[in-house]
């Protein structure tokens, strides 16, 4: 292994950890993904050790490959190597050795970390002075990893999925250690097996070209990589192959930020990473819908090693910076407590409010590229805060009108390609613009395109839009209570009725039944599904119970035993509850009570005993009509574009002329 320092020959034989570790340090670069091993992979390693312990063979047992390159601060006095491949296994082995060394040190007079074993494999020097970890993880989780090895992880904040996996792996290792290394002598035996009998092929590429090729090989084996990870690896490969240090430095600087922002957004799944990457390549490169789903292959094709020069490398460098910017905008959208919000919005409360609205909508994939583009325009000072507000409001309208409506809306993925084209067009036009007038033209064109998109994939007219909220007399299946956009609709309706209410949109949209609180709202049927009173025609009764006008938001805990009572009794209970609790009911509940008084009369008995059942049912219908008409009028004002309102007014004048 001495050749790894000199770099003058290739290591191809198995090397034990006892030969590899002394005098060397290892580091996981920030551009590498975090710890990803799951329980099954840790178990496989531990099972291998148990088999090895029973084996009579004295040779090294191959456990994996370790690809290392000298770190940028590598010197003869500080031989530190960046881990290109093998970090998952080496991290797991380090945790295992740490757990075993803890057992070894326990009965001795040595303080934790003072033994030769600890100094060889875990950390060197004194904790008080000149301490240097033997294995360092990505800078974002290195402090957490150190706390985990010292048994202090419970004091740390969990921000990343890799931290959670480290905790789970270490717990699994500790459980195994307690079962198999129940004494210091047993622990020492296992340390010998791990460090002397496990073998890794430690490989150091001999030049930049060979190192770059390793990234491409790694992309196609081992634990499947996400599209984002494969793109990162190819970009590093490209940078090394083309000898474009600026691109590699940018990746090293920005990739940790990208992963951190994804973690802060609580979007760490492979799908989430794909969604961010997909949206960024759509905006920046203009990739078509299918191309964006395979960004890795498309980038390899568009930026082939066989062609291109400094201009292509510069473009890729700018893309990585753009992707990093997009990860911040992504985090602002999906993390309601984002620290970036104050930087972007300052005292512009309306901007924060509309971002909150987009976040809690039920679909994002279609509008996400345009959202990222709009935030970039504002972040780079191409547009004002007011212009950003108008763009975000348009995005929210489009998303609701096309992808969230109950009847007549588009399929979940309809029109995505056209929306993606709109996002790339405004980005490209602004990036090329030479003056403010050209930028304004690009933004205006974006607004016009969005209105055209709504008419193509949503409803062509406001009348058609309004009709989508009415239940057809012939439809015996549709139930507005199952509409996935219902809670969003009612929460917006509540805010429109009571602009002074301080509850955030998140609280009004709270759907979890756990930890119920009076600030959380539930959906209530005004005319209860199980109400004993019904009309003579069961089809008409069912229709009334399934319509939009029969639904409202209600604060948790106020309906209790009255949920299935007739409307008169239910509303009386709600009014009495307001008086008894001295707390105002939701504005839409108050409006329902007003409507009831208009339809039934504000008598103290709420309904006259001599009202016949059929007339009573007809009054129920008239009540729900009033409620629904007001809701639909609200929807028209709330989600119409200005140009649509103007068109509607002109048409109205012609009709009544």
Tens of pLDDT along 221-259? 555 678 888 888 788 878 877 888 888 889 878 988 898
pLDDT at 400: 95
Say what the pLDDT of residue 509 is. Answer: 55
Which residues fall within 8 angstroms of residue 3, CB to CB, at 6 or more apart? 9, 10, 11, 204
Based on its alpha-carbon atoms, the radius of gyration of the chain, rounded to whole angstroms, reads 32
H helices present in 286-415, as ranges: 289-292, 295-302, 310-334, 340-345, 349-360, 368-379, 385-403
**Phi, then psi, of 316 in degrees rounded to 5:** -65, -40
- Strand runs labelled E in 167-288: 198-203
Residues paired with residue 126 on neighbouring β-strands, in sequence order:
129
243, 310 contact by CB (below 8 A): no
Distance CA 375, CA 114 (A): 52
Strand pairing category for 25-27 and 135-136: parallel
> Which of 341, 353, 357, 298 shows the shortest CA–CA distance to 485?
357
Distance CA 97, CA 170 (A): 11
User: Over the stretch 433-478, which tens digit does the pLDDT of each residue have?
Assistant: 999 999 999 999 999 999 999 999 988 899 999 999 999 888 888 9
Q: What is the pLDDT of residue 541?
A: 94
- Please report where in the chains the tokens 């959202």 appear, as a residue: 371
Chain centroid to Cα 396, Å, comes to 18
Cα separation, 260 vs 264, in Å, equals 6
Per the CB < 8 A criterion, the answer to whether 588 and 494 are in contact is yes
- CA distances to 256, 352, 644 from 160, in Å: 11, 25, 45
Please give the pLDDT value at position 7: 36
Task: List beta partners, residue 524.
Answer: 552
Tokens of 72: 């940028």
The C-alpha atoms of residue 599 and residue 587 are separated, in whole angstroms, by 19
Cα–Cα dist 56/547, whole Å: 76
Q: Is the pLDDT of residue 96 over 80?
A: yes
Q: Express each pLDDT in 126-159 by its tens digit.
A: 876 788 999 999 887 899 999 999 999 888 878 7
Give the Cβ contact number of residue 76 at 10 Å: 7
Element containing residue 64 per DSSP (H, E): strand 61-70
CB-CB contact of 173 with 95 (8 Å)? yes
Q: Is the pLDDT of residue 648 over 60?
A: no
Q: What residue has token string 């402090």?
A: 143
Please check whether residue 69 is in contact with residue 5, taking contact to mean a CB–CB distance below 8 angstroms. Answer: no
Mean pLDDT of 211-221: 57
Quote the CA–CA distance of 262 and 393 in Å, as a whole number.
Answer: 24
Mean pLDDT of 161-190: 94
Q: Is 270 helix (H, G, I), strand (E, B) or coil?
A: helix
Q: Kindly write down the DSSP assignment for every residue of 111-163, as one continuous string.
A: PTT-SHHHHHHTEEEETTEEEEESEE--TTTHHHHHHHHTT-GGGS---SHHH
pLDDT band at 516 (very low <50, low <70, confident <90, very high): very low
Res 364: pLDDT: 92
Q: Give pLDDT, residue 393.
A: 97
pLDDT at 647 exceeding the cut of 80: no
Measure CA 531 to chain center.
41
> What average pLDDT does the structure give for the chain?
84
**What pLDDT, in 10s, does the model give residues 18-58?**
999 998 999 998 767 789 899 999 999 999 999 999 988 87
What percentage of the chain reaches a pLDDT higher than 90?
A: 48
Q: How far is CA 564 from CA 177, 560, 618, in A?
A: 58, 9, 19
């Amino acid at each position: 292994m001495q050749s790894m320092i000199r770099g003058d020959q290739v290591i191809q034989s198995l090397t034990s950890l006892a030969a590899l570790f002394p005098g060397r340090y290892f580091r996981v670069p920030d551009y590498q993904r975090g710890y990803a091993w799951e329980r099954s992979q840790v178990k496989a390693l531990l099972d291998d050790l148990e088999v090895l312990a029973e084996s009579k063979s004295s040779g090294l047992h191959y456990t994996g490959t370790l690809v290392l390159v000298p770190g940028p601060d590598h010197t003869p006095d500080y031989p530190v190597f960046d881990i290109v491949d093998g970090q998952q296994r080496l991290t797991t082995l380090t945790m295992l050795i740490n757990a075993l060394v803890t057992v070894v040190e326990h009965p001795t007079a040595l303080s934790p970390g003072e033994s030769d074993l600890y100094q060889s494999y875990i950390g060197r020097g004194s904790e008080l002075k000149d301490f240097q970890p033997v294995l360092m993880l990505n800078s974002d989780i290195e402090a957490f990893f150190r706390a985990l090895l010292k048994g202090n992880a419970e004091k740390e904040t969990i921000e990343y999925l890799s931290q959670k996996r480290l905790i789970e792996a270490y717990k699994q290792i500790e459980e195994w250690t307690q079962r198999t290394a129940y004494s210091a002598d047993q622990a020492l035996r296992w340390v010998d097996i791990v460090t002397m009998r496990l073998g890794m092929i430690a490989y150091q590429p001999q030049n930049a070209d060979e190192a770059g090729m390793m990234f491409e090989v790694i992309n196609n084996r081992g634990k499947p990589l996400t599209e984002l990870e494969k793109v990162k690896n190819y970009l590093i490969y490209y940078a090394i192959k083309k000898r474009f240090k600026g691109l590699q430095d940018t990746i090293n600087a920005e990739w940790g930020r990208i992963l951190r922002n994804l973690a802060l957004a609580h979007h760490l799944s492979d799908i989430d990473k794909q969604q961010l990457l997909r949206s960024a390549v759509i905006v920046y490169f203009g990739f078509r819908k299918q191309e964006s789903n395979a960004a890795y292959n498309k980038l390899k094709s568009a930026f082939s090693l066989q062609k291109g020069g400094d201009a292509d490398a510069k473009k890729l460098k700018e893309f990585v910076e753009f992707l990093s910017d997009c990860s911040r905008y992504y985090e602002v959208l999906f993390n309601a407590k984002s620290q970036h919000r104050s930087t972007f919005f300052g005292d512009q409360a309306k901007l924060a409010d509309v971002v909150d609205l987009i976040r809690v909508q039920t679909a994002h994939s279609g509008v996400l590229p345009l959202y990222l583009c709009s935030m970039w325009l504002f972040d780079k000072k191409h547009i004002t805060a007011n212009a950003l507000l108008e763009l975000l409001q348009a995005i929210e309208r489009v998303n609701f009108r096309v992808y969230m409506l109950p009847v007549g809306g588009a399929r979940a993925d309809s029109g995505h390609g056209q929306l993606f084209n709109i996002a790339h067009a405004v980005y490209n036009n602004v990036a090329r613009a030479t003056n403010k007038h050209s930028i304004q033209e690009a933004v205006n064109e974006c607004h016009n395109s969005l209105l055209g998109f709504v008419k193509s994939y949503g409803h062509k007219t406001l009348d058609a839009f309004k009709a989508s909220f009415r239940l057809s007399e012939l439809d015996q299946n549709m139930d507005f209570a199952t509409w996935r956009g219902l809670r969003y609709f009612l929460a917006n309706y509540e805010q429109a009725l009571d602009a002074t209410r301080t509850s955030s949109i998140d609280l009004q949209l709270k759907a979890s039944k756990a930890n119920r609180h009076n600030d959380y709202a539930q959906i209530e049927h005004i005319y209860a599904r199980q109400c004993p009173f019904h009309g003579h025609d069961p089809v008409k009764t069912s229709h009334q119970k399934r319509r939009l006008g029969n639904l409202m938001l209600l604060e948790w805990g106020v309906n209790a035993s009255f949920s299935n009572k007739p409307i008169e009794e239910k509303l009386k209970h709600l009014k009495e509850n307001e008086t008894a609790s001295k707390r105002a009911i939701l504005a839409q509940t108050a409006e329902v009570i007003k409507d009831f008084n208009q339809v039934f009369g504000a008598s103290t008995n709420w309904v006259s005993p001599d009202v016949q059942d059929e007339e009573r049912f007809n009054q129920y219908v008239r009540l729900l009509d009033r409620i629904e008409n007001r809701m639909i009028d609200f929807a028209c004002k709330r989600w119409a574009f200005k140009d649509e309102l103007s068109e509607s007014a002109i048409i109205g004048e012609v009709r009544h002329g």
